[in-house]
Amino acid sequence: MNISTLVKKLTPRAIIGPANGEISALHYNSRQVVPGSTFFALRGVAADGHRFIDDALQRGAKAIVYETERPLPPQVTGILVDDARQALALASACYYDDPTKDMLVIGITGTNGKTTVSYLLETLLSSAGRRPAVIGTVNYRFEGQLLASTHTTPESLDLQELAARFHRAGADTLILEVSSHALEQRRVDGIAFDLGIFTNLTPEHLDYHGDLETYFQAKCRLFTGLGSRGPRQAIIDIDDSYGQRLAKQCQGLWSCGLSQEADVHPTVSDISLEGIKASIASPAGDFELCSALRGEFNLSNLLCASAAGLALGLAPAKVAEGLAEATAVPGRLEPVENALGALILVDYAHTADALDKALAAVTDLKPDRIITLFGCGGDRDRSKRPVMGEVAARHSALVVVTSDNPRTEDPGAIIDDIRLGLERVFKGQWSQQQAAEKGCGGYVVIVDRRAAIDFAVSQLGKGDLLLVAGKGHEDYQLIGNQRLHFDDREELRRALQEREGCHGA
């Protein structure tokens, strides 16, 4: 890319130094800068990229994109912009030859349900003959290519590189989970969206956004703040009050939800241990929906996917056929087989609303007893902790409180916050012995998550249900500044084998 091309794309406030010359690469991490590249000084939550301009210069940067002007060597071009993050997004799209302009691009945003809807759409569109790539919370994938996910929505430069890679490999569709952070930080400003989906909005990330209204406005950017790059069609779940507000602002609207006021809604539904069956009414015609997914919240996810398929021109019968093929989503009410006659489920629920919906779904399965194991993340919004504690206590016979990803926060302090909610329902903490003897009506605290899983498994009997919530598909635990391997599903299988071994002996 020539500097002059970059300048035209960014419309900067000022150009300092040479206005021409080839640049070899774009970078936002100064440690990755090589001679001839452009460095974007991004302002972050923990660090300001302007502090690393000298490092980028020492490594041979040819151009610097910054928001605050400072002296540069005469041979280096300074590009002064209002928003370096937006500049990076636009430059990245240009650098990779705008890969999404030739793809069908679907963006999914909302507090809960993004991942499940992405999996449903991947199966649905594949069954319809398209070749979708997915970038989201669990991983980044296209057919044989599977890459580890670092963020729900990667930084704009990485996002464009992934889109270009998948497009070269044959992807004609991009399904993208769009986080509020990504929208606020302009990571998707260079993406050409065709269809946007809004699932719901509940309290989350308030440590970052400050309040729920600011969080909502960040989500709205996908539909109203991307200009010509924004979606021409919108799928909005209007069961959600924020969805109702957003629907009034959207063009090409297909509303969905359990309410009969929605364009796509169920007229009859049956939700059981076997899955979901529903008769769906839509402007394109009625159809019968069958899915292996469980819970009313998954019916909402299926409605979002159904509306998206219909909006893209698929026949109702084709939508029903494609969604029937979708299997369990990793870490979303994912079952763990056992010989105890119990139902063990692992779920990513890490907000009060998600935990409430997951527990409501398993309550509908009518187990003899519900045991819930969960914790809350450290260095994140504290306000949700007591709410999650109260939700768990309200639905469960026994709650096992443990660590999630404590990060740099004291796990005991996190649990103290959770305890405030638990004790709105339960009268006090039990010892493990008391829990084993009484079985119902209380909570235990076991800080070590592995030991907590061992204890929960030891309490299971025939007909019981254990929900292990919070981490879902994650295969790590963040303790201090360390990222340690930890997978709830692996730990459950180990605990089950050890229990079965002890009984066998």
What mean pLDDT is predicted for residues 424-449? Answer: 96
Annotated ligand binding at 180? The verdict is no
Burial of 75 (0-12, 13-18, 19+ CB in 10 A): exposed
% residues pLDDT > 90 (the chain): 91
Annotated ligand binding at 115? The verdict is yes
Taking residue 285's Cβ as centre, other Cβ atoms within 10 Å add up to 12
Q: Tell me which H or E stretch contains 409.
A: none
**Residue 170 pLDDT more than 80?**
yes
Tell me how long the chain is.
505
Annotated ligand binding at 252? The verdict is no
**Residue 503 pLDDT more than 70?**
no
**Residue 504 pLDDT more than 60?**
no
Instruction: Please report which confidence band the pLDDT of residue 365 belongs to, taking 50, 70 and 90 as the band edges.
Output: confident
Annotated ligand binding at 380? The verdict is yes
Which amino acid, one-letter code, is at 495?
A
Annotated ligand binding at 404? The verdict is yes
% residues pLDDT > 70 (the chain): 99
Strands 63-66 and 38-40: parallel
Q: How far is 100 from 193, CA to CA, in rounded Å?
A: 8
- The answer to whether the CB of 396 falls within 8 A of the CB of 359 is yes
Strand spans (E) along 364-463: 369-374, 398-401, 442-445
**Residue 208 pLDDT more than 90?**
no
Selected residue with higher pLDDT from 273 and 442: 442
Annotated ligand binding at 137? The verdict is no
Instruction: Give the tens place of pLDDT for each residue, 376-400.
Output: 999 998 999 999 999 999 999 999 9
Give the model's pLDDT for residue 191. Answer: 98
Instruction: Please report which confidence band the pLDDT of residue 298 belongs to, taking 50, 70 and 90 as the band edges.
Output: very high
Calculate the average pLDDT of the chain. Answer: 95
Taking residue 417's Cβ as centre, other Cβ atoms within 10 Å add up to 18
Task: For residue 52, give both structure tokens.
Answer: 């690393």
Burial of 68 (0-12, 13-18, 19+ CB in 10 A): exposed
Annotated ligand binding at 474? The verdict is yes
Annotated ligand binding at 504? The verdict is no
Q: How far is 240 from 94, CA to CA, in rounded Å?
A: 37
Annotated ligand binding at 153? The verdict is yes
Annotated ligand binding at 327? The verdict is no
Annotated ligand binding at 154? The verdict is no
Annotated ligand binding at 407? The verdict is yes
Annotated ligand binding at 30? The verdict is yes
* pTM given for the model: 0.90
Instruction: Please report which confidence band the pLDDT of residue 434 belongs to, taking 50, 70 and 90 as the band edges.
Output: very high
Instruction: Please report which confidence band the pLDDT of residue 505 belongs to, taking 50, 70 and 90 as the band edges.
Output: very low
User: Which whole-number Å values give the CA distances from 462 to 207, 358, 394, 443, in the listed order?
Assistant: 41, 21, 22, 20
**Residue 403 pLDDT more than 80?**
yes
Annotated ligand binding at 405? The verdict is yes
Instruction: Give the tens place of pLDDT for each residue, 308-332.
Output: 999 999 999 999 999 999 987 899 9
Which domains occur in the chain, in start order? 3-95 (3.40.1390.10), 97-325 (3.40.1190.10), 334-503 (3.90.190.20)
